[in-house]
Amino acid sequence: MTYWLLKNFLLGPLILTLFRPWVVGRENVPTKGPVIFASNHISFIDSVILPAVLDRRVSFLAKSDYFTGRGLKGWATKTFFNAIGQLPIDRSGGKASEASLRAGLQVLARGEQLGIYPEGTRSPDGKLYRGRTGIARMILEGRVTVVPVAMVGTREVQQIGQRIPKFKRVGVVFGKPLDFSRFEGLETDRFILRSVTDEVMHELAGLSRQEYVDVYATSVKERASTAREQVLRGKVTRNGRGTSAR
């Protein structure tokens, strides 16, 4: 009920008015049955724009951090993400990731729509990075239709760290549904999972026209974070030496 109210009377109309999203390939969106929308991820508002242009409810797998915050802000964030159909996904691996996978499959088993960002995180620089194979497992185990989706212009509206978005027009491009039925029963083959994932990313690169980089976005973020720490450590060390010299 909350999702329906937000989409049709509160948040949805506001999003459509402020960002005036244009849509290409709407005919590629199935009108019924379970669907996986595999999307690039270049901005926080991707998870708000896509539901606004779809008729049926779509749930997203979102990082569990959004659901574990403390205090009033943590409660508000958790309540908002639950209201817009977000499902927490634990990126720590092992049993936690398996539980997240099962949560997504349950959505599909109900005949609903599921949104997934194969990169596993927002792009740090607007490029398209290597996909995680979790999406391939869902596609093959769920035996569902997968539609590649390219979000266009959302990074210019709200970049990482930017709290208030700019009100500019954005776009959503739906590609033709991908058929992976030829791999039925091979969802435990890691080579097949990589092949399926890479095919999805190839389609996304074509739709979004982003530069593709065959490394994980999380690795790029980790290297950047390490570099920043080293720079700060160097500054602290130099300042300390300067102080002691005086």
DSSP state of 20: -
> What is the average per-residue pLDDT within 171-199?
96
> What is the average per-residue pLDDT within 52-69?
82
Residue 93 pLDDT level (bands cut at 50, 70, 90) = low
SS3 letters across 152-202: ECHHHHCCCCCCCCCCCCCEEEECCCECCHHHCCCCCCHHHHHHHHHHHHH
Q: Is the pLDDT of residue 125 over 90?
A: yes
Would you say 173 and 24 are in contact if contact means Cβ atoms under 8 Å apart? yes
Report pLDDT for 240: 65
Short-list 80, 26, 23, CA closest to 48: 80
Q: What residues does 56 pair with on adjacent strands?
A: none
Share the mean pLDDT of the chain. 88
17 three-class SS: helix
How far CA 213 is from CA of 37, 125, 210, 219, in Å, comes to 21, 11, 9, 12
Report pLDDT for 246: 41
- Which tokens is 230 given? 């080293």
Tabulate helix, strand, coil % of the chain (nearest 5): 50, 15, 35
Q: Is the pLDDT of residue 97 over 90?
A: no
Report pLDDT for 245: 43
Report pLDDT for 221: 92
Report pLDDT for 144: 94
Q: Tens digit of pLDDT for each residue in 18-47? A: 999 999 999 999 999 999 999 999 998 998
Q: How far apart are the first and last CA of the chain?
A: 67
- Of 48-57, 92-101, 162-171, 234-243, the poorest mean pLDDT is in 234-243
| 17 or 239: which leads in pLDDT | 17
> What is the average per-residue pLDDT within 106-127?
94
Short-list 2, 80, 36, CA closest to 174: 36
Report pLDDT for 244: 45
Q: In 10 A of CB 128, how many CB atoms?
A: 25
128 three-class SS: strand
Report pLDDT for 3: 80
> What is the average per-residue pLDDT within 211-235?
90
DSSP state of 124: S
- Of 89-93, 104-108, 167-171, 183-187, the poorest mean pLDDT is in 89-93
Short-list 198, 41, 222, 33, CA closest to 113: 33
Question: pLDDT exceeding 70 applies to what percent of the chain?
Answer: 90
